[in-house]
Structure 1
């Protein structure tokens, strides 16, 4: 009987890392993470904005941090209340501190994007700044980052049990049409070093087909 109990304990210990290894378990203060890790490490030398591919040297009034999976949808999923109320929710703080979901954006573009979900819109839909198509409730990102968006949303959904922000089939198609490029892979490796966990859909894009 003792041996049986020991085997159960050992089995549980072996399984425990698998339950948390895919999550951000290193950062839990969103503001601090943005300031110290995102701007202080990941983009300390500048870079290019996510949606518009505009080069920048540093954070400024026109450049800010944005979230591929908008935090408003995270708050809705967790039902933690207002932004101020959710700041007291440990689960929300963990998710809001995940670097895989944070990208540099132009403030005016982020304001227009707001909390829209994602969709492959009709070609007749008007095309706005940086090749972004937008309707009342949905946004279609530029072709060059459709895969980036798909793999980030898939990561957030599978890692934190969040709802999809659009049709799964659309995200699968986007990931296939726009596989990881050098820029996405380099950023992913740097986040892996800083945060300690990968986005498996960037490491193995074929995982998208299994969703």
Structure 2
């Protein structure tokens, strides 16, 4: 029955044209979003974003990690709790549940990443996750992902900024450079297609990465 429900939901979304710079309006619950994340985007597993660790289906060591964190959203919207955010901004439940913002990540990495800002970290100032065989570099409240993840991260941030008016997190020229150095691959394009079908919005920066160069600093 659950599979049938998802199928009908997907058909209903496909029948509606994607919104333009208005965010998604199909999923307003993070639990529903997480269920779709595992059942529709990664049902057979995949690769974690930050460490490229392979996993097969739902894994206790892997979580759905928000690139633009809920804490950063609340800071931007000047609210503290989910309830307060929803009252102050009725779009908040849709913002926090947007699938374009979520990638699989190891829980141990997510704990270190949660309060960090994306940045270029000098080798002389960095710590690493060498015990996980991971190229992720960390500094004081800063984090630099491996090159193969930089474009994904930049395009997720650009999407959240463009669709919901959230401030950019991280230095814009750096993010634009990350976008250029790591263009979308076939896996990212396929993921964009799936999310577009599920929630009615595509990430335009995946469809046309050059759009990122038109963004201006806040």
Fold in common (TM above 0.5):
yes
* Structure 1 residue 166, shift from structure 2 partner: 1.0
* Structure 1 residue 208, shift from structure 2 partner: 0.9
Does residue 64 (structure 1) correspond to residue 68 (structure 2)? The answer is no
Which has the higher relative contact order, 1 or 2, with Cα contacts under 8 A spaced 6 or more apart?
Answer: 2
Q: How many correspondences in the alignment?
A: 194
Instruction: Confirm or deny: 8 A CA contact 1:119 1:138 kept in the other structure.
Output: yes
Instruction: Confirm or deny: 8 A CA contact 1:75 1:92 kept in the other structure.
Output: no
TM-score by length of 1: 0.85
CA distance in 1, matches of 2:180, 2:197: 26
* Structure 1 residue 20, shift from structure 2 partner: 4.8
TM-score by length of 2: 0.82
Pick aligned residue for 2:143 from 131, 139, 142: 139
* Structure 1 residue 46, shift from structure 2 partner: 1.1
SS in 2 for 1:132: strand
Instruction: Confirm or deny: 8 A CA contact 1:113 1:139 kept in the other structure.
Output: yes
Shift in CA distance, 66/87, structure 1 to aligned 2, threshold 3 Å: farther
- Any idea what the Cα deviations from partners look like across 1:115-168, whole Å, max 9, x if unmatched? 211111223232412111111221111110111111111111111111111110
Does residue 200 (structure 1) correspond to residue 204 (structure 2)? The answer is yes
Written as runs of structure 1 = structure 2, the 5 A alignment for 1:74-93 is 74-83=73-82, 85-86=84-85, 90-93=90-93
Gaps of 5+ in 2: 1-16
**Is the deviation greater in 124-133 or in 95-104?**
124-133
CA distance in 2, matches of 1:53, 1:161: 30
**Is the deviation greater in 60-69 or in 201-210?**
60-69
Gaps of 5+ in 1: 1-16
CA distance in 2, matches of 1:192, 1:132: 29
Instruction: Provide the alpha-carbon RMSD of the alignment.
Output: 1.9
CA distance in 2, matches of 1:54, 1:63: 9
CA distance in 2, matches of 1:25, 1:83: 17
Shift in CA distance, 208/62, structure 1 to aligned 2, threshold 3 Å: same
SS in 2 for 1:145: helix
